[in-house]
Amino acid sequence: MPQRSLVLLKPDAVRRGLVGEIVSRIERKANWTLVAMELRTLDQATLEQHYAEHVGKPFYEPLMEFMGSGPSVALIVEGESVIEGVRALAGKTNPLEAGPGTIRGDYATITRENLIHASDSDSSAEREIKIFFPNHA
């Protein structure tokens, strides 16, 4: 049965002109489909909902500031093993640990500005899709 994942191309991906490259990598995977895609600057309320589990952590405030610093691209990607697959394609959170051929390994330089977010489980995907695309939930 196909899964769905929320994918965010963060403000650094948009600023650096990497949206097409990253979307292309996702689209080239067999049996994955873009279900929804939108460019928008994320408001405080959306960011607070999305990052609620990180409140109080040292990286929370800088992350909130970064994520609101410019437009992001939100996508729903659907397909077989898409949650695990997009996360593997993204690479480890720390770009210095992400392997060559991954999005972060090839293009990111620092952990906070690491280009891409992808849901980490079915339950996270369901929660995140409701936040960003309530009409697709």
Question: Which CATH number goes with the domain that contains 79?
Answer: 3.30.70.141
pLDDT of residue 1 exceeding 80: no
Which pLDDT score, from 0 to 100, does residue 134 have?
A: 95
Q: What total number of domains does the chain contain?
A: 1
The proportion of the chain whose per-residue pLDDT surpasses 70, expressed as a percent, equals 100
In tens, the pLDDT along 95-113 reads 999 999 999 999 999 988 9
pLDDT at 30: 80
Q: What is the rounded CA–CA span in Å between residue 71 and residue 48?
A: 16
**Nearest-angstrom CA–CA distance, 137 and 134:** 5
- The pLDDT value recorded for residue 47 is 97
Average pLDDT, the chain: 96
Which residue type does 109 have? T
Q: Which residues make Cβ contacts (< 8 Å) with residue 49, sequence separation at least 6? A: 131
Examine the pLDDT at 137 and tell me if it is beyond 80.
Answer: no
Does the structure show a pLDDT above 80 at 15?
yes
Structural domain harbouring 59: 3-136
Mean pLDDT of 16-20: 98
Contact between residue 123 and residue 115 where contact means Cβ atoms under 8 Å apart: no
Read off the pLDDT of each residue in 21-26 and give the average, rounded to a whole number: 97
Residue 62 above 90 pLDDT? yes
How far is it, in rounded angstroms, from Cα 81 to Cα 68?
A: 30
CB 6 within 8 A of CB 49: no
- Please say if 117 is a catalytic residue: yes
